[in-house]
Amino acid sequence: MRVFSGILYWFMGKKVAILGSTGSIGRNALQVIDALRPDYEVVALSAHNNADLLAAQVRRFNPRYAAITDDAKYAQFKDALSGFDGQLLSGAEALVELASLDEADIVVCAVVGAAGLPAALAAAQAGKTLAIANKEPLVIAGELLMEAARQSGAVLLPIDSEHSAVFQAMQAGRPEEVARIILTASGGPFRKTPTEQMNNATIQQALAHPTWTMGPKITIDSGTMMNKALEVIEAVRLFGMPAEKIDVLIHPESVVHSMVEFIDGSVIAQLGTPDMKVPIQYALTWPKRMKGIAKGLRLHQLGQLNFEPPDLERFKALAMGFEVARMSGSAPVVFNAANEAAVAAFLDGRIRFGQIIELIDRCLQAHAVQAHLTLGELLSIDAWARRHVADALVRQTAAG
């Protein structure tokens, strides 16, 4: 009977819920699933306020559920889908509902920021396969997420290309044989830019990533190297490695996605073109591999691959990230929330690029780190950090 239902399940295909389907990761995930049909099908989709794109995705993929988390956009969304016979939902709580649907085998968490935490936690508690791109919940509540997954039997699979690479490389040995994790970083748009020029970069310059096409928040994080700082903490959470055993290496071509060094001196790397469809597909098909739509890698066309150590003086966020990873407790919560608030202010044209790091630093200085947080405590510290940044911006405006 178990074998029969297993075969039936395989033939029926895997049902995937994509939270944040209108974003960069979400749209790539839909392309991957489109190519994997009928083995994979979409059961639920969500967006925050891009009602038109979400409605177009619903018409194309015909999921049973679709949610728009910004209540103000619900009427427009509903109108755009009159005649749709699935269920339409709205509000932040709808995301939690989608994450724990009985019909969903895999939940792709592609929401940006801490807003994805309740849904990621719900998927982990519901025992789903959680394919997680949304790094911020792992940074701020990694222990809670991993514990929820341990208790429910949920499987957490990283979509972040570096962590997918580490996860794949880890399979070449046993966890106790790992000596260090080496996360690669493109260096972002300001790798060679003098500090003064970088601090005064325009929004357009900061959004021009040399190798990856991504959503605005993570692109700004790549410019400050906050993204790599968050990824160091993400690696600590996902792989249970101390920060001391994690290195960052600048690799401008973004072809070696990360490496694992084992105790015998072997270094196993995962390579590929810089295309998020590869790690997304791996998270969907794991432990199998299936024919993909991403372009293969032809190393001879690149000629050479370059590596250099990161400049921790110029990219202070990365130095702070290592320190925050060592402090743990509430420090990553403040680090992440202050960054989200500061990046939003930069994208609104309210602060200079260089002020992002200054605001995060001041917020961390004003916080006394606490250990062993409940979800409620964690969320109130997150809210405190956002208020702290908002107050600093009000004072700045008042001072002219």
Ligand X SMILES: NC(=O)c1ccc[n+]([C@@H]2O[C@H](COP(=O)([O-])OP(=O)(O)OC[C@H]3O[C@@H](n4cnc5c(N)ncnc54)[C@H](OP(=O)(O)O)[C@@H]3O)[C@@H](O)[C@H]2O)c1
Binding site residues, ligand X, CB under 6 A: 20-26, 47-50, 69, 95, 110-112, 115, 133-136, 160, 212, 214-215, 217-218, 276
Query: How far is residue 124's CA from residue 145's CA, in Å, rounded to a whole number?
Result: 6
Q: How far is the CB of 3 from ligand X (least distance, A)?
A: 37
Q: Are 279 and 161 in contact (CB under 8 A)?
A: yes
Residues sharing a CB contact under 8 Å with residue 348, sequence separation 6 or more, in sequence order: none
Q: How far is the CB of 248 from ligand X (least distance, A)?
A: 16
DSSP state of 40: E
Nearer to ligand X, 8 or 69 (CB): 69
| Nearest residue relative to ligand X (C-beta) | 23
Smallest gap from Cβ 90 to ligand X, in A, equals 11
Nearer to ligand X, 186 or 355 (CB): 186
Closer residue to ligand X, CB minimum distance, 235 or 276: 276
Written in H, E and C, the secondary structure of 58-113 is HHHHCCCEEEECCHHHHHHHHHHCCCCCCEEEECHHHHHHHHCCCCCCEEEECCCC
CB of 161 to ligand X, least distance (A): 6
Task: Please state the φ and ψ torsions of residue 73, each to the nearest 5 degrees.
Answer: -95, 0
- Residue indicated by tokens 């040399």: 210
Query: Nearer Cβ to ligand X, position 231 or 371?
Result: 231
Smallest gap from residue 295 Cβ to ligand X (A): 16
Nearer to ligand X, 21 or 262 (CB): 21
Cβ distance to ligand X smaller for residue 22 or 281: 22
**Minimum distance of ligand X from residue 305's CB (angstroms):** 20
Question: Distance between CA atoms of 151 and 319, rounded to whole angstroms?
Answer: 34
DSSP-assigned letter for residue 308:
B
Can you name the residues that pair with 155 across neighbouring β-strands?
129
